[in-house]
Amino acid sequence: MKIGEENLLSRILVPVGILRQAAGKKVALLALCAGSTLSIDSALADSVNGEWCSSDGREIEILFEEVKLSDGTEAHGEYDRHHYVFRIPTNGEQGGATVDLVLADRDIAYVRYYSEAGLELSSEPEKWTRCELGVS
């Protein structure tokens, strides 16, 4: 998590609360809208959701609790804004392995694989990047 992200909401809401007390609801609402507009782009971009590509051509697409692998396999996982964990179904490539993806920044994530027994399957995490948008 980047420095200051944890306090983003409090940096917006605390001044809004002060303004609400001092100047009434209209000013507070205006300040909240301005703060929301300034932070909405970074909030959406700084999320694990989206399409991710490995250096060897594999892809995964994450949309909240759902993930789709490049071989067409779909799975359900545990999601938060910067982290995603799921088990590859036994019919997929590396079936039964647990995948642990952690967002490093808006365009880079690190992936580790664990066996069904919980043992890490590689010594170093794989670096994945956001897939480039295709031009239509």
Segments making up each domain of the chain, as ranges: 5-45, 50-130
- Condensed to tens digits (0 to 9), the pLDDT of residues 8-41 reads 444 444 444 443 454 454 443 334 444 443 433 3
Mean pLDDT of the chain: 74
Structure tokens, 57: 């051509």
The pairs formed by 27-30 with CB atoms below 8 angstroms and a separation of 24 or more are: none
Q: For the whole model, what pTM was predicted? A: 0.62
Handedness of CA 39, 79, 88, 92 (dihedral sign): negative
CB 43 within 8 A of CB 12: no
